[in-house]
Amino acid sequence: MTLLTTPAVDAKQTFRRVKRHFSPALATAGKFTGQGAVEVAAEGSRVILSDGRSLLDFGSYAVALLGHGNPEITEAVRDQLGRMSASTRSVQTAVAPLAAERLADYLGGGLGRVYFGCGGADAVEASVKLARMATGRTTVVAVDGAFHGKTLGALALTDNPRLKSGLEPLLQGVVRVRPDDPGSVARALREHDVAAVVFEPVQAENGVRLLDEAVLGQWCRDAHEHGAFVIADEIQVGLRRCGPRSVALAAGLDVDCVLLGKPLGGGVMPVSAAVGNDRLFAPLLADPMVHTATFSGHPLSTAVIPVALDLIERHAEDGEWIAHAMAQGLADLREQFPDAVTETRGRGLLWGVDYRSPELAGDVLTGLARRGMVVSPCLSRPTTIRLLPPIIATEGDVKEAMTMLTDATAGAAGGA
């Protein structure tokens, strides 16, 4: 499908179905973002709506790093679809092991064991489960402001009371530490039977907060001294979203597992991965049936991983200039609107813009929707708008994005 041959879709009927079968609130949110239209096609950095409008996608919650419908990714899916679209799960296929080998090599070879999931929370659940089984301990250390998913196990690590309301008790034994306290993990280790320390090097959902690498390094040393595992959740920030292939490994952090997802499927297929060492994966090495899933290592999903990794590396230099352009553009935005924009921060292709109030941030989101740009709000930080440009964005895309953000900010602040 190309953007010139989009299917006819009845947006009103679609919203009625969303309201009836999913949620009225979801229908309302979709109407707001699409301004009454729905997605019907996408290509590169553009999404086409049912009313014919084109949106610039600087959101998609980090999935569309390579844009939408990359032809090399879709060709890999078509090729695998013509060969074997699903696995019997009784006979081994060649596709998933090849993807695992490529992924382990991509991260430097120090972490050689891989578990494939369908979404980020799958990787979180698998890694925490393995840490508890391997150590025989029950406590997991998580960081204030963290987001690790919404399944019951992952949600226990997520620091958002709104998402947990009515669900307590969740997974027991989660201890929280402050991200600016180097000694917090050591204290937790002395006071609790800790299986693992889990952190995001950059807390994307928490308003794009960069954790201090010196603090993380101390946490890693303390954890290993006490026999606990260290898990770096890079589901949103890895794979060059924030510059390096792995933020933690590039910083020299001694981690036992890196969690990846979102762009791992090339923006086409849902897939995630926990990439760890032998010690963490010992329970699976002893008994591979202690943690399984029907669609783990699905042929269509894993077939795209080597292609996606190659494409990401091919565009790595593009990501560098886009990051520089975004940093400069957002610095200019803050200088232009000092009373509206309180802070801008980020790394690579992940940026956060803080506004004076949630209401002002909401008005900017409305303005961006009207002007034709998709971004990602932060559930945990309603004053922050998250920008996630694709690594294939053009100079024109970046300029257009900054123009729309400037105009939307001006309109919300009363300057237009």
Q: Which of 34, 119, 60 is CA-nearest to residue 388? A: 60
Residue 5 falls within a domain, yes or no?
Answer: no
With cut-offs at 50, 70 and 90, classify the pLDDT of residue 415: low
Structure tokens that stand for 328 in this block: 């400069």
Output the six-digit token pair for 175: 């201890």
For residue 342 the two structure tokens come to 């309180």
pTM of the model: 0.96
Instruction: Tell me if 309 sits within 8 A of 103, measured CB to CB.
Output: yes
- CATH number of the domain at 387, please: 3.90.1150.10
CATH of the domain at 153: 3.40.640.10
Q: How far is CA 124 from CA 52, 179, 184, 277, 382, in A?
A: 39, 19, 22, 15, 25
Distances (CA, A) of 101 to 212, 281, 297: 31, 16, 13
> Of the residues 298, 314, 330, which one is the last residue of a structural domain?
314
Q: Is 225 helix (H, G, I), strand (E, B) or coil?
A: helix
Which string of DSSP letters, residue by residue, matches 329-388?
HHHHHHHH-TTTEEEEEEETTEEEEEESSHHHHHHHHHHHHHHTEE-EE-SS-TTEEEE-
- Across 109-119, average pLDDT: 97
Q: Are 148 and 158 in contact (CB under 8 A)?
A: yes
Find the domain containing 388 and state its range.
11-69+315-412
The tens digit of pLDDT for each residue in 274-327 reads 999 999 999 999 999 999 999 999 999 999 999 999 999 999 999 999 999 999
Q: Which residue has the tokens 């200039």?
A: 321
Whole-angstrom Cα distance, residue 164 to residue 148?
13
Q: Are 230 and 224 in contact (CB under 8 A)?
A: yes
324 & 396 share domain: yes
Tell me whether residue 203 is in a domain.
yes
Q: Do 191 and 129 belong to one domain?
A: yes
**What are 252-276's pLDDT values in tens digits?**
999 999 999 999 999 999 999 999 9
Which residue bears the tokens 């909401």? 362
What is the pLDDT, as a whole number, of residue 32?
Answer: 86
What digits encode the pLDDT tens for the residues 204-234?
Answer: 999 999 999 999 999 999 999 999 999 999 9
